Structure 1
């Protein structure tokens, strides 16, 4: 009896020790061949409770199972039992309007830097409980924490980052591409695409003029608007995701866009090239956040933690092509990926880059008013169309009159 009791005590001590050791080491959960780090988080907490989360993200901005990639939302559902309702937006302003209207509730959203700042200022984001996001401390690069738009690091977790550059079809563009000036080049009229959102469009115009992308000077913003109006007759279309079809199919020659999409478009069209403008550009960060009126904040935070699992972050990088702030994902990349000058540009590019900051309401409203004027402005078009039409009409009239005169002379000569 004493031996049995002693054995039980020793066995209990060993079992406790084993459990403590397990708690101290990373725990990997394998789902259909993928291994996930579950250290410090209970992914099973909501299983069987019929919980769902609404995720609102940019288009083409997560691995969805195509080309043998991970289906991130499905893997999260398998691991946790939490249903993911996933929808897309095209611009920060579209997302903001949807949130502001209150028509739909979302649990996880992915605003860009300046929009994160705006949502914080307006009290529309929940403070995150980082106990539910242990992968933040383990894997998110310190260079992407406590940035200008979220200085205390309470409301956001960096998801991707990148820069804006000029994508062009080398078979259609013979000139050197190293400046925003190419987007105003008459030789490419009708072959130029432009951002269909005010902040990116004004950012480019301001950089071309030598101003800060974050200026609040109304005279500088008006000058940028005038420059965009000057460009309008040359623009084939104002686009966002439509760029994939237009540039990839050779329907347009030049477009400013995000560096992370370069590889995807080049895969469709090998003639596509990329250049950083010498005037400087935008360095952006898109972040995962939780709206204040979400349905289930803890489940949302579990999803954000899952996104920062190295295996998941790497799959997202491989699929969407944007630079990753996740150190675990970077470790999984090959040397060629780590050294890619478009995805991970050198200091000479980053030193000339700016991150968008949230501007005051007056400046935002003024910029939006100017942007509406740019899109609705037909004066530039009229200045071209009317003189050409008049000149054409005069030319036709002269041609008819001259032809009649020649015929009349011939008739007189024949008589």
Structure 2
């Protein structure tokens, strides 16, 4: 990997870090925001969900324009929107203002993530792309290990507005670095455009990639939103234990991301993804059928669950970016981001229909969701097999 590639990857990873911390920091601030603005639990839930819903809608709208611009210009525009929206969150005088600001932040951040992956795919050759994606996605683990705890520490010292202002300051610095250091990413504009160029975007061989992303994310988010409740209500952990358990999971994810990327480069994304889809069936079933157990055992199973589940995204992205022609890549990844956001929201809603909580906080039906998550993972494996039998677009084979 060249020095220029490394600098590019760390810049993109830092942007994703700011994006993820901005998304995650709102949830632990919930009690204070509910009290300060006098909103209901449902109203706060709307503030959380509007972020991903706006991201999904913006991803679909990105089909109309995203590949018509230099990716650097699109990236800078979306990052500027993210900075402005996050500043607005920190200055929000009312709940409605904060809700609107979260909507704009989600719309900017979701499409920006698609542009990040498009830039990565355009600038890094296919034989090193898995490791590059793993490097950028290590920001997920870093945000859990350091970003959110640091943000909460800032909030405890200077109030709930301070984390949003700190995130916007970091993102502003990253905007300046991207404007100064990021080269033009416009090779896709040199590809001759055919009349009706939108048609190939919906070709079956490409649409299967969206189905693969949807099923991979859907399986994980059937369980992820309810993990903390299950660990406290069913497995005997205390609320004070959760930060340490999640810290262990985030640290494991941080160190495993680059390893999974390296394996994807060495053995091919389809093979690595297939192994991970099969390997996650065990933790899905094991974790959701655990009974009260020592904290160390629960933490160990949780770390295994989070490491394998989060790792599946790396070969998935490496696989689909290799199959999409550069001229379609930005729009394709925008729809792929919409599929991911839609899957996470739909999965959480689906689990809510089948899970109930007792008065003491225990969850009933979580084991059934583990069975469903395992089944959806096997469906994803079938989609992967069909995808492997379909032809790779000729232009994508040379990227």
On whether the aligned pair clears a TM of 0.5, the verdict is no
More helix by share: 2
The alignment's TM-score, normalised by the length of structure 1, stands at 0.21
Q: Looking at CA atoms only, which structure, 1 or 2, has the larger radius of gyration?
A: 1
Higher RCO by CA contacts (8 Å cutoff, separation 6 or greater): 2
